Amino acid sequence: MMPLVIGIDIGTSGARAVAMRPDFSIAGQSTVRLDRFGEDPRAPSAWWQAVQTALTELLSGIDRASVRAIAIDGTSGTLLPVDATGRPLAEPLMYNDKVAEGDILAAIAREAPDASAAHGATSGLAKALRFQHLPDIAAVLHQADWIAGNLSGHFDVSDENNALKTGYDVEARRWPDWIAATGMRMDLLPDVVEPGDVTGSLTAAAAELFGLPRNVVVVAGTTDGCASFLATGATAAGDGVTALGSSLTIKILSDRPISAPRFGIYSHRLGDAWLAGGASNSGGKVLAEHFPLARIIELSAAIDPTTETGLDYYPLSTPGERFPIADPTLRPRLAPRPADDTDYLKAMLEGMAAIEALGYRRLAELGAPALTSVRSVGGGAANPAWTDIRRRKLGVDFLPALSDEAAAGTARLALRGASKAGLP
């Protein structure tokens, strides 16, 4: 009987569950949409129902007795207040919700170091400060913490990745003293452990609900972004992952933390390594404003990726860029426009590849290792012409992503936890 572990991803649209073998191969997976359980994606009851359903569907196709560990990832910066039993006390504040109270934002701006990820209206700390005065509050938890708590019964623990935006110091590995100076009640902050650490085992109720052994361990998870990186199989310093979605996001594994507040760059800790990256305002959204998807596919097939158009484009939808150039007034460059649509699309793809290359060089300038390989995820990764243009611009090996499912990355953490627990 080959042992299995389970990774669960709870995102904005639904829950995904993956069963993984020790060799990282996938034994099963399931996906459940949140809208099956109501129209409000911020309802914790909908999160838990989606996770229950996804996990139940996954378990129906595998040997339940083989399961050794479960880990969860969730959206970074999503927080909810709970009482001592883990009962939510108010509607959660999601990853992109903003705290409007000026006194809260001013306190963080005054006390937090410049390099802290706790700055800004969407930070976890701002949300925790807003929640802390609720009656009966016992803790403020991140989304993944709460889901894991429903499995283990422990509603007082988080991981280093989710805690980063709430002000946790990942280098010192503790909640820093300056947080108390903002007025935050430190007793409401969870204990923080390393992703992949065992935080408990299934409660009797959870084991009965899912038909699993009681000795299945619950393992500290991570954020959805970190999980997506881990899923690709990138493990060495210098390994990069580019997400070619509506925006262009790059991440690199580093042997040292990288911080550059002006670019919105901070580092997640992954064991003894660090994950740093940035996001450009360029990307697939710009392409979609000029061509429908079917036309992009048609034109891409006619592109010769070995030649250059000679056009120096910087494709943006509107003025303003955050990374690799920090300039809120940077204007799009999409002229002159060739008469041929194929050349126009090619010039945009060249411009985005140049932005990607500049992004990795910028990270190296800030202290990250030089890029040695790239794995690609997102819709744009399926475009062969774009891939060939990017390969020429970046000049490094392009390696296949083992998976683009965040749940697979979280399953890798569950494997780590099972190993730490000495489970066969």
The one-digit pLDDT tens for each residue of the chain (424 residues) are 799 999 999 988 899 999 999 999 999 999 999 999 887 888 999 999 999 999 999 999 999 999 999 999 999 999 999 999 999 999 999 999 999 999 999 999 999 999 999 999 999 999 999 999 999 999 999 999 999 999 999 999 999 999 999 999 999 999 999 999 999 999 999 999 999 999 999 999 999 999 999 999 999 999 999 999 999 999 999 999 999 999 999 999 999 999 998 998 999 999 899 999 999 999 999 999 999 999 999 999 999 999 999 999 999 999 999 999 999 999 999 999 999 999 999 999 999 999 999 999 999 999 999 999 999 999 999 999 999 999 999 999 999 999 999 999 999 999 999 999 998 8
Backbone Cα Rg of the chain: 22
The phi and psi torsions of 403 (rounded to 5 degrees) equal -160, 150
Torsion angle of the four alpha carbons 231, 226, 70, 192, in this order, in degrees rounded to the nearest 10: 160
Q: Is the pTM of this model over 0.75?
A: yes
Q: Which two structure tokens, joined as six digits, stand for 412?
A: 């890798």
List the domains of the chain with CATH numbers.
4-226+406-420 (3.30.420.40), 236-399 (3.30.420.40)
Q: Which two structure tokens, joined as six digits, stand for 372?
A: 């040695």
Measure CA of the first residue to CA of the last residue in the chain; give whole Å.
10
Q: 15, 33, 34: which is closest to 147 by C-alpha?
A: 15
Q: 13, 54, 52, 47: which is closest to 32 by C-alpha?
A: 54
